[in-house]
Every structure is written in C-alpha cells, then in structure tokens.
Amino acid sequence: MVKVSIGIPVYNVSEYLRQCLDSVLIQTFTDFEVILVDDGSTDDSFRICQEYVSRDKRFKLIHQENKGLAGARNTCLKHMAGDFIAWLDSDDWLENDYLERLVSTQAKTGADIVCIGIKTFMNDEFYMGSHQDKYGAFPDHVIPKKIAMSDVFWGIYALISVWGNIMDAKLYKGVVFSEGLNYEDQGNKFKLYLNSKKIVGIPELGYVYRIRSGSITQDGVTNFEKILDGKIMQVTNLEKFMYYIENANYEVDYFHSLYSEWLDKQVQGVDNNWDENQQKEYLDFILKRKKIFENYSSLR
C-alpha cells in the first residue's frame, strides 16, 4: 500500500496539464500513486495523461464519459489505495516539497487532516494569501474542528477546497461527492471535518491555485443569471451543511448563528449594477430562504 493517493480529475486542460503533472513527478516525497480520471476530454488531455502513465508506473489512468468534477472525484475514490488522500486540480500545480511537508507534519502530529497555505496565480502573477499566517495563531497549529467547519461560510482559512491538504483515507469512508452540482467542495468537505479528530495547518505556502477564464469557479462572474445560480447552489450546500450539523448534534446553536449572519450579509450584497428586476429576484430568493430558516429555528 502506498502512503498517499493523489486524485487528479482531468477535463480539457491540455494547455496546463503538463505543468500540473510535472509538479507531481518532481516531488521530493515519492511514496505516492496518481489516479488520473479523464472526464470525457475533447482536447489533447487524454493523450497527455497517457504519456505520463507510460513514463511512470505510479500514474494510473481511467477514462469515462463526462460526469462533471464531482463524478470524476468519485471515480478517483474508487481506485485509491493510499493511507492518505490528496487532490490536485489539473490546472494547478505543487511546490516540489509539498507532499514531504504534509506527510512529515502528519507523522509528527498524528493529525488525520494536515492543511497547507495556497498561493494564487492569475494573469501571470502570484498572489500570496494571508490565511496561512492565521494557522500559526493556533497553539501548535492545531485548528479547532469548529473553526475549520465554519470556513464553509467565510473562507477565512482557505479550508473548504478539497485540495491543499492530505486526509486520512478512513475519513472518506461512505463519502460521495454530489454529482451534477457546482461548488462540490463546499457541499461535501465539511463531512470529512465532522469525522476528524485532529486538524493541523502548516503556516507556509505549498499549493498553487490557478485562476483562469473558463474555469468552473470563474465562469460567468459578471453574468447575473450565473451569479444567481451560484448563490442558489451556495444556499443549497449550506442548508445541507446545517442538516448534517443537526443530525450530528454538533455545535448546532453556533452554526445556526453563523448561517443567520451569512444570510444577512447576502441581503446586503445586492449589486447596484443590476437592474431593478434583477435586484428584486436576488433579494426575493435570499429573503425567502432567510424566512424559512428563521421559522424553522423558532421551532427548535
């Protein structure tokens, strides 16, 4: 059995894929396998994946009809055999000691989740986040579970994406990513935190996140309909989050308060550049969900 399984969903990223896969090849920690899932690419991505599989026996390739990012992740999970699981998006890349830092920290701390800071690459420039500095504010860099899970609302610590960490593979038992939906990280990663016993954050940078036009997270950022669809998806994920919290009876009052605060912030987030009908449509949706949540909370 290998120490780390790296899952890489691939879809039409031929322009960036070699940089991604090369960053895995040069890792200073070598006890890993790579599960590549080509999710029905129509460019040269599948052929590029084949090149790396032929070069290194640690690389394994599965091709499937397009199922979306969550569907590709679920296929990765079916083929992973490592003690720990890591994810890498196929347009991102890793610093060469990324795995070494994560694995050595896990060995020292016994954590079942070890996170590291990310830096963003956009328009040919690097942007250094401040979230990794915040990991150092916690004693021994141990992040309280409640704080890690609250990042689903605010993203202060960059802990919602499934990449940027290693996790004990046991945490994934019974976990399935929700297919056919965007923001699958927000709607699923909290399940892993809920089952975890110790979360450690390394106050350094190791994962490089590329922001590009046409990516799932950036597509349509100036388009009202897509913004509204994204907000609907966020609310759907947060309502699912609250359902899990309540069933686990974990810090329910705390997270009820956070969700109420989050909804209030969304009411204040109306864009003045939208026309009157768009503003009304957005507000009607948020206020309706807020009223439903308040009515439900009053019954507890």
Q: Are residues 20 and 107 in the same domain?
A: yes
Does residue 218 belong to any structural domain of this protein? no
Q: Are residues 232 and 197 in the same domain?
A: no
pLDDT at 221: 47
Q: Write out the H or E segment, with its range, that includes residue 69.
A: helix 68-79
Does residue 78 belong to any structural domain of this protein? yes
Amino acid at 300: R
Does residue 58 belong to any structural domain of this protein? yes
Tokens 């569907």 correspond to what residue?
71
Residues 6+ apart with CB under 8 A from 216: 69, 182
pLDDT at 251: 96
Domain boundary pick from 160, 177, 210: 210
Domain boundary pick from 210, 236, 262: 210
pLDDT at 219: 45
182 close to 70: Cβ distance less than 8 angstroms: no
Q: Are residues 254 and 199 in the same domain?
A: no
115 close to 104: Cβ distance less than 8 angstroms: no
pLDDT at 300: 66
pLDDT at 201: 96
Q: Are residues 245 and 185 in the same domain?
A: no
Q: Are residues 205 and 232 in the same domain?
A: no
Q: Are residues 203 and 231 in the same domain?
A: no
| 60 bridge partner residues | 35
Q: Are residues 251 and 146 in the same domain?
A: no
pLDDT at 67: 94
pLDDT tens sequence for the chain (300 residues): 899 999 999 999 999 999 999 999 999 999 999 999 999 999 999 999 999 999 999 999 999 999 999 999 999 999 999 999 999 999 999 999 999 999 999 999 999 999 999 999 998 888 887 788 889 889 999 999 999 999 999 989 989 899 999 999 999 999 989 887 667 677 789 999 999 999 999 999 999 999 976 544 444 445 888 889 889 999 999 999 999 999 999 999 999 999 999 999 999 888 888 999 999 999 999 999 999 998 887 766
Q: Are residues 182 and 240 in the same domain?
A: no
CA gyration radius, the chain: 20
Residue 248 lies in domain: 224-298
Q: Are residues 243 and 182 in the same domain?
A: no
Q: Are residues 177 and 279 in the same domain?
A: no
CATH number at residue 115: 3.90.550.10
Does residue 216 belong to any structural domain of this protein? no
Q: How many domains does the chain have?
A: 2
CB atoms within 10 A of CB 32: 20
SS3 annotation, 91-135: CCEECCCHHHHHHHHHHHHCCCEEEEEEEEEECCEEEECCHHHHH
Domain boundary pick from 185, 210, 235: 210
Q: Are residues 178 and 47 in the same domain?
A: yes
Does residue 175 belong to any structural domain of this protein? yes
Q: Are residues 181 and 260 in the same domain?
A: no
* Helices and strands in the chain: count of H runs, count of E runs: 10, 9
Beta strands in 169-240 (DSSP E): 199-210
Q: At what angle do helices 224-248 and 145-154 cross, to 10 degrees?
A: 160
Does residue 163 belong to any structural domain of this protein? yes
